[in-house]
């Protein structure tokens, strides 16, 4: 299976991975899978509860297993968690089985988007310096996995989704064209 089999949306919290992923899947007639939702269904707990009860390490293991399973088939647009790229197994799966698009977002825009809904995000910090440090640590890993990047600040989710679809079609040649039919 090659990297054009699936599209994976990666990026920091508040980048719009789930929203854009759903739109891309709809545009392409593909299945949409949110890895956080897969983990929640498999554990019966919200992500914040998994972090609280089991810790981040166990969550990353569950997340990696869910991604491996989802990416083992083709034809899906997959929204990852913001920290999914921290796990080397997840990065390997992403690079081998998905066309990865990094939705790049600034901390200021992420903060604006997450205002009032950040309670379910266990690693979100309203302290700007903490979020900036977390994003700075992750950016090299996003860059490592990304086949393409879309800067999302100031763009609508629809425009970001159109950009993702265009990048996938361009980067995957006939694979992108055939998925639209």
pLDDT exceeds cutoff 70 at 117:
no
Listing DSSP states for 75-100 in one string gives SEEEEPPTTGGGSHHHHHHHHHH-EE
Q: pLDDT grade, residue 39 (50/70/90)? A: very high
* pLDDT tens readout for residues 64-115: 999 999 999 999 999 999 999 999 999 999 999 999 999 999 988 887 777 6
- pTM of the complete model beyond 0.75: yes
Q: How far apart, in whole angstroms, are the C-alpha atoms of residue 98 and residue 1? A: 9
Q: How far apart, in whole angstroms, are the C-alpha atoms of residue 62 and residue 66? A: 6
Residue 27 has, within 13 A of its CA and on its CB side, a CA count of 22
Q: pLDDT grade, residue 176 (50/70/90)? A: very low
Neighbour order of strands in the sheet with 31-34: 31-34, 76-79, 7-11, 99-104, 148-151
pLDDT of residue 127: 56
């Amino acid at each position: 299976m090659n990297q054009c089999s699936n599209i994976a949306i990666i990026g920091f919290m508040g980048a719009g991975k789930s929203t854009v992923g759903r739109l891309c899947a709809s545009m392409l007639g593909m299945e949409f899978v949110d890895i956080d939702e897969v983990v929640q269904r498999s554990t019966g707990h919200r992500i914040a509860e998994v972090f609280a009860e089991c810790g981040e390490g166990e969550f990353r293991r569950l997340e990696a297993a869910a991604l491996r399973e989802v990416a083992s088939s083709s034809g899906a647009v997959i929204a990852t968690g913001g920290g999914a790229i921290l796990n080397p197994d997840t990065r390997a799966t992403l690079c081998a089985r998905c066309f990865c698009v990094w939705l790049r977002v600034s901390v200021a825009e992420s903060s604006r988007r997450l205002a009032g809904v950040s309670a379910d995000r266990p690693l979100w910090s309203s302290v700007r310096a903490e979020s900036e440090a977390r994003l700075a640590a992750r950016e090299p890993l996003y860059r490592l996995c990304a086949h393409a990047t879309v800067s999302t600040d100031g763009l609508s989710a629809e425009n970001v989704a159109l950009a993702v679809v265009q990048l996938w079609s361009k980067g995957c040649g006939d694979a992108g064209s055939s998925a639209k039919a």
